[in-house]
Structure 1
Amino acid sequence: MSTFTIFLALIIIVAFLLVVVIMVQNPKGGGLSSSFGGGGAGQLGGVQKTTDFLDKSTWTLATLLLALILLSNVTIMDGNGVGESKIIDSETEVETNVPAPVQPPVENPAENN
């Protein structure tokens, strides 16, 4: 299993977790925190901490996702040595396998006299 495959799996997991954390939040301040609140006493302690946790986890996961994407790009460049496409490489091989045209022999005009 290559390093890029490991990074790709981590990127997919972090992206999924980021989507879940964002979907749990409610843009109007409700979301997960409103289902735990109910009364006024629950809003004093638990709601603010749930919102802070979701906010911090969103920023943490977004930063982790960006770092994983950048690191995977570095491993791709280091692994191949050259960052060119395989399509370009295959077209180059086709062009180099074409035989050169055959040149007719040049006649010496001094020998004809």
Structure 2
Amino acid sequence: MSTFTIFLVLIVVVAFLLIVVIMVQNPKGGGLSSSFGGGGTQQLGGVKKTTDFLDKSTWTLATLLLVLILVSNIAIDRGNAGIESKALDTDAQSTQPLPAVPTTNDTTTATPEDSAAE
């Protein structure tokens, strides 16, 4: 299993967790935070602490996702390709012949005045 594949799996897992954490949140007091703070005096964490946890976990997972995406770019196996684009290769540009421009001495070519008259 290559390093890039490991990063890819981690990115998918973190993205899924981020989706779950975002879907659990509800800014109007519903969702998971309302079920923990249900109205009794004995609360499992309380509404404020649950909201803080969800908020911190959202930012942590989003930051982790961004870092994993950036670091996975380093792990991509590029092989021995070197320069991938011929447009960036200066040697390839100098060795390619220019296309021949056809020269015609034909007097039957249309002029702008001729096309305007039609």
What's the TM-score, normalizing by structure 2? 0.61
Aligned length: 82
Task: Give how far 1:38 is off.
Answer: 2.1
The match for 2:41 is 41
Structure with greater helix share of residues: 1
Distance 1:83 1:4 in 2: 21
Task: Give how far 1:27 is off.
Answer: 2.3
CA spacing shift, 1:83–1:24, aligned 2, 3 Å: farther
The match for 2:22 is 22
The match for 2:5 is 5
* Structure 1 stretches lacking a partner, 5+ long: 86-113
The match for 1:51 is 51
Distance 1:83 1:59 in 2: 38
Distance 2:67 2:13 in 1: 14
Distance 2:15 2:8 in 1: 10
The match for 2:68 is 68
Query: Where do 4+ consecutive residues of structure 1 move more than 6 Å?
Result: none
Paired amino acid for 2:39: G
Q: Which has the higher contact order (CA 8 A, sep 6+)?
A: 1
SS in 2 for 1:38: coil
Task: Give how far 1:22 is off.
Answer: 0.4
Paired amino acid for 2:55: D
SS in 2 for 1:80: coil
Overall identity of the aligned pairs, in %: 82
* Structure 2 stretches lacking a partner, 5+ long: 86-118
Task: Give how far 1:62 is off.
Answer: 0.2
